[in-house]
Amino acid sequence: MAQTATAKMVFDDDDDREPFAAYVADSESQAAVKLFAERRGWSVGSIRRGSLPSALRLLGVAPPPRLMIVDVDGLPLEEVDQGLTELARLGSSVLALGSINDVSYFRRIIRTGARDYLVKPVDADTLGEVFVRFEQAGEDGQIGGRVVGLIGARGGVGVTTLAINTAWIMADKLSRRTALVDMDIYAGTIALSLDMEPTRGLREAFDDPERVDEVFLQNAMTKLGKSLHVLGTEEAMNDAVRMTDEKVLMLVDAMRTNFDMTVLDLPRHFVMREPALFSKLDDIVIVTELTLQGLRDSNRLLRLFASRSHDAKIHIVANNVAAKPDVAVAEFEAGMEAKLRCCFAADPKAMSQASFRGQPLAGADPKHKLVHSLYGLCKELAGVPEETKKGLALFGWGKAKRG
């Protein structure tokens, strides 16, 4: 007890915590946890052979990580009760693994403060799904999807390309049930880029937003892979669709209720038409080119969003950046008085190879540099905690994989 009290005292600061550790007793679970951790870019050194007692032994030296997988297989119930209660008390979100398939056992585990219990065997997909809930829960434990909007400082800077790749990574790597919505109802290119039939879903959603529920979305959206759902429309130019502020807001709320993550590809005229929308977003990503025009318009968007969308976090990313851009990164940042979150190099060859395969770059070439750094941004947008160098050194856990 004295040991854990010290741990609490010394390691109260959340920054000292590692994002994740696992103590699993059998090879099969270990392999599943390893694949799951790799997908999130967490060091596999944080996976140890062991179970609850080994997790508790470490409390004297390090703070418990934010998220933990702990094997309780074969341990006496009292020991499980005490140990899991202690981990929860110290602020860890714990997923317990065991082999007892019994509702009263499950309830007892949940009463300790552990967040979930899974019966073995487990696989990486299931672990991913469980952790999405842990990661997305707010301070109050409330779960709600997150919504990110991507918008271009100028036309043709790569918003659609980045929106598609963001959504792909969210679904494929970070296990989010993801919606990708093309808000450009007339000229959007998401359906075209993904080689999909455009649907009338968005149009119907705007005609009658109250209809938008799970069943509507299932019918209106095109499913790509296990958890990516796409709403891509291509309405006739002469067909007037009434997109009032109110309807757009209702749609965003419906998306938040039905998906872990919603990625909106926003046409630039939305800035003029739907100001209230931006106050609903968790994150806004402004995509720009490194030119004088890009600098002027990024600045204008940045100031506008900063004054209007107090809750949204704003990220500015440069895309399609040439080896010698018109405006260098340092000059651009000085002109904007803000840092660029990412700087994606131009790689027309990789882009056209991916589109030839009818896939986003993240699917066609997952190891590409652009995908790797977009993955880092995606983890931030999704709320996946990052590893700290300090914590890794403390545990002697080797080098972290970074996004």
Ligand X SMILES: Nc1ncnc2c1ncn2[C@@H]1O[C@H](COP(=O)(O)OP(=O)(O)OP(=O)(O)O)[C@@H](O)[C@H]1O
* Near ligand X by CB under 6 A: residue from 92, 233, 320, 373: 320
User: Least distance from C-beta 355 to ligand X, angstroms?
Assistant: 6
Buried b (16+ CB within 10 A) or exposed e, 290-308: bbeebbebbbebbeebeee
Q: Does 141 bind ligand X (CB under 6 A)?
A: no
* Near ligand X by CB under 6 A: residue from 189, 249, 341, 402: 189
| C-beta of 267 vs 403, nearer to Mg ion | 267
Q: Does 348 bind ligand X (CB under 6 A)?
A: yes
| C-beta of 152 vs 209, nearer to Mg ion | 152
| C-beta of 174 vs 266, nearer to ligand X | 266
Q: Does 243 bind ligand X (CB under 6 A)?
A: no
User: Least distance from C-beta 169 to Mg ion, angstroms?
Assistant: 18
Three-state SS annotation for the chain: CHHHHHHHHHCCCHHHCCCEEEEECCHHHHHHHHHHHHHCCCCHHHEEECCHHHHHHHHHCCCCCCEEEEECCCCCHHHHHHHHHHHHHCCCEEEEEECCCCHHHHHHHHHCCCCEEEECCCCHHHHHHHHHHHHHCCCCCCCCCEEEEEEECCCCCCHHHHHHHHHHHHHHCCCCCEEEEECCCCCCCHHHHCCCCCCCHHHHHHHCHHHCCHHHHHHHCEEECCCEEEECCCCCCCCCCCCCHHHHHHHHHHHHHHCCEEEEEECCCHHHHCHHHHCCCCEEEEEECCCHHHHHHHHHHHHHHHHHCCCCEEEEEEEEECCCCCCCHHHHHHHHCCCCCEEEECCHHHHHHHHHCCCCHHHHCCCCHHHHHHHHHHHHHHCCCCCCHHHHHHHCCCCCCCC
User: Least distance from C-beta 189 to Mg ion, angstroms?
Assistant: 5
Placement of tokens 């790689």 in the chain: 347
User: Least distance from C-beta 258 to Mg ion, angstroms?
Assistant: 24
Q: How far out from the chain centre does Cα 14 lie? A: 20
Q: Give the CA distances from residue 369 to residues 179, 347, 379, in Å, rounded to whole numbers and listed in that order.
A: 24, 10, 16
Sign of torsion over alpha carbons 196, 352, 263, 243: negative
Q: Show contacts with ligand X in window 363-392 (CB under 6 A).
A: 370
User: Least distance from C-beta 160 to Mg ion, angstroms?
Assistant: 3
| C-beta of 191 vs 261, nearer to Mg ion | 191
| C-beta of 267 vs 391, nearer to ligand X | 267
Q: Show contacts with ligand X in window 145-174 (CB under 6 A).
A: 152, 155-161
Of these partners, ligand X, Mg ion, none, which one is at the site of residue 344 (CB under 5 to 8 Å by kind)? ligand X
| C-beta of 310 vs 324, nearer to ligand X | 324
Q: Residues binding Mg ion: what is the number (CB under 5 A)?
A: 2
Q: Show contacts with ligand X in window 54-73 (CB under 6 A).
A: none
Q: Does 318 bind ligand X (CB under 6 A)?
A: no
User: Least distance from C-beta 182 to Mg ion, angstroms?
Assistant: 8
Q: Does 351 bind ligand X (CB under 6 A)?
A: yes
Q: Does 398 bind ligand X (CB under 6 A)?
A: no
Q: Residues binding ligand X: what is the number (CB under 6 A)?
A: 17
| C-beta of 25 vs 183, nearer to ligand X | 183
| Cα–Cα distance measured from residue 92 to residue 17, given in angstroms and rounded to the nearest whole number | 10
Q: Does 160 bind Mg ion (CB under 5 A)?
A: yes
Of these partners, Mg ion, ligand X, none, which one is at the site of residue 266 (CB under 5 to 8 Å by kind)? none
Binding mask of the shown chain, residues 28 to 67, with x at each position contacting Mg ion by CB under 5 A: ----------------------------------------
User: Least distance from C-beta 265 to Mg ion, angstroms?
Assistant: 6
* Residue numbers at the binding site for ligand X (CB under 6 A): 152, 155-161, 189, 319-320, 344, 346-348, 351, 370
* Residue numbers at the binding site for Mg ion (CB under 5 A): 159-160
